[in-house]
Structure 1
Amino acid sequence: MRIDTALNWAIKQLEGGESPSVDAKVLLAHVLNKTQTYLFTWPDKTISPIEQSQYEVAVKRRLSGEPVAYIIGQRDFWTLSLKTSPHTLIPRPDTEILVEQVLHWAHQRLKTAPDIPLDICDLGTGTGAIALAVASELKDSQVIGVDFLLEAVTLATSNAKSNAISNATFKQSDWFSDLGDMRFDVIVSNPPYIEDTSPYLAQGDVRFEPKSALISGQDGLDDIKYIIKHAPHYLKAQGLLAFEHGFDQASRIQALLLEAGFSDVKSVKDYGGNDRVTFGVISG
């Protein structure tokens, strides 16, 4: 079977999905271990029977709704290539906004004290996406990512190694439980924030992602409330706490931060125009 024939077949199979053409190309490039540019350049190249069989299996998995990132075991985020696992959430483009806000704040802080490296903690690190993106840009800072799942810690550690990032480490911890007396300039988190009755849980890629990384009580705020309550103990003076959250949760999270003694509380919109990131600085 030729490359162009294989792509046309897959697109037809995936018709009606979110992105049949994109998915078909990503999956075939993965099976062939080639770039998508190769597919465009050599459409008349023939794929082997084994490759055809592997491609058919991959397309069938996608047709069942399984996320492409789980099928190929990889997802690009920021400037990084990250291994993925069904144990963790798939990194999403909107999360890069959270990284951007942390980096903006960090660069402003470093202007006032350029010789003092920042200590940064990523709570619920998953693949390590946020921790590694921040560490890759703030090379003199020390970043620690924690997750209650050992599988996530192992995956994030592997991602640090494969991306040659040495200033990020990972450990198992249920939020703050194993951080001892550590203190941070920044605590950042993309925690679970979906209501346990949300119809969103039965849609698209989310159906295959771990519910423990998605659901957080009746209003979706259980984990965010917990983090806000305990974060002041782990933040240095004038330290930053920043969250990714649901599109309709910004005002409630702002109120929670203000009640807990945070100042300079702000929210930032995602690429779709929805409030997606909220942060504040601890007073004192």
Structure 2
Amino acid sequence: MSQTVQQLLQTARQQLAQLVPASEASIEAQILLMHTLDVNRAWLLAHATDVVPEKSTQDFTHLLQRRLQGEPIAYILGYREFFGLKLAVTSDTLIPRPDTETLVEAALQKIMQPLQILDLGTGTGAIALALAWHAPQSQVTAVDASEGALRVAEKNRHCLQLDNVTLLHSHWFSALANQAFDLIVSNPPYIEAADQHLSQGDLRFEPLSALAAGEDGLADIRQIITQAPGHLNDGGWLMLEHGYNQAEAVQNLYQIAGFEHIQTLRDLGDNPRVTLAQWLVI
């Protein structure tokens, strides 16, 4: 039976409201139908009474069922907007989140001149590409231990035509030998291995290696802070995203490693999210 745009959206909203809050259900229904029909939101509003072709209805229903099973919208669409950039995402990568924009903003504030920048665990390339886009005179090296993630990052780099980004296969600093940088940034895994949230919501579909880091969630952060001094130029900065309840622990790790000017920044939800510190050679 043929349905109009309005009817499809209403049915989808009702079903999605069992998964997400009503306000989000309405937005997600529109996003999925816009993607199916390759139109914008204004078109949906102007053509509410238009009958949707049967093939498109079937395609929309298929996408809706995937979402109702819990699959993240970003994986269904195959992309996510981050810091003004449209980035491809796959199940090989963590989904870029607005909270991580706090890290990008903090890094951009330190780029007063062309710098050598390193992004550890780049995933989709979100942080590295955002920095390269907004600081075109700087050179950005982005590494990841996942070859699948690097393929996605390379696709995004190519689409954005950013020639000031180099992608390398590396587990943290392992392939960087004696290379040193002025700024190192990372959104590493920081969830506790036993955290129940790993089996809930979008996290169920994202790569565990990009989420969990040992019993206390600090295993990778601890390794990065310990090894970073060997890859930072004098006066260089290390900036790390972390869990909302990890700021004090991360600050302590910085102090133990000998970093100075330690500072924690809050994200859009007013949670302590990014801690940065400077490496000064005595």
Matched position secondary structure for 2:213: coil
Compute the displacement of 1:39 (Å): 1.1
Q: Which deviates the most, 3-12 or 217-226?
A: 3-12
1:124: which partner in 2? Answer: 121
Compute the displacement of 1:75 (Å): 0.3
4+ residue runs over 3 A deviation: none
2:276: which partner in 1? Answer: 279
Separation of aligned partners in 1, 2:183 and 2:256: 19
Matched position secondary structure for 2:222: helix
The answer to whether the aligner puts 1:29 opposite 2:26 as a matched pair is no
1:2: which partner in 2? Answer: 4
Matched position secondary structure for 1:279: strand
Separation of aligned partners in 2, 1:180 and 1:31: 47
Separation of aligned partners in 1, 2:51 and 2:165: 43
Compute the displacement of 1:224 (Å): 0.2
**In structure 1, what residue type is equivalent to 2:93?**
T
2:187: which partner in 1? Answer: 190
Compute the displacement of 1:12 (Å): 1.1
**In structure 2, what residue type is equivalent to 1:81?**
K
| TM-score, length of structure 2 as denominator length | 0.96
The answer to whether the aligner puts 1:238 opposite 2:240 as a matched pair is no
Partners of 1:157 and 1:169 within 8 A in 2: no
The answer to whether the aligner puts 1:78 opposite 2:105 as a matched pair is no
Separation of aligned partners in 2, 1:189 and 1:46: 47
User: Residue 52 of structure 1 is aligned with which of 35, 38, 57?
Assistant: 57
Matched position secondary structure for 1:37: helix
The answer to whether the aligner puts 1:221 opposite 2:218 as a matched pair is yes
Separation of aligned partners in 2, 1:46 and 1:234: 60
Gaps of 5+ in 2: none
Separation of aligned partners in 2, 1:156 and 1:52: 32
Gaps of 5+ in 1: 111-116
Number of aligned residue pairs: give it: 276
Separation of aligned partners in 1, 2:55 and 2:32: 14
1:204: which partner in 2? Answer: 201
**In structure 1, what residue type is equivalent to 2:183?**
V
Q: Which deviates the most, 161-170 or 241-250?
A: 161-170
Query: Percent identity, aligned pairs only?
Result: 43
1:11: which partner in 2? Answer: 13
User: Residue 156 of structure 1 is aligned with which of 153, 156, 161?
Assistant: 153
Separation of aligned partners in 1, 2:116 and 2:43: 42
Compute the displacement of 1:156 (Å): 0.4
Counterparts of 1:138-177 in structure 2, within 5 Å, are 138-177=135-174
Separation of aligned partners in 1, 2:150 and 2:192: 26
**In structure 2, what residue type is equivalent to 1:40?**
L
Compute the displacement of 1:58 (Å): 0.5
User: Residue 255 of structure 1 is aligned with which of 252, 256, 276?
Assistant: 252
Separation of aligned partners in 2, 1:228 and 1:16: 42
Separation of aligned partners in 2, 1:41 and 1:240: 50
Compute the displacement of 1:42 (Å): 1.8
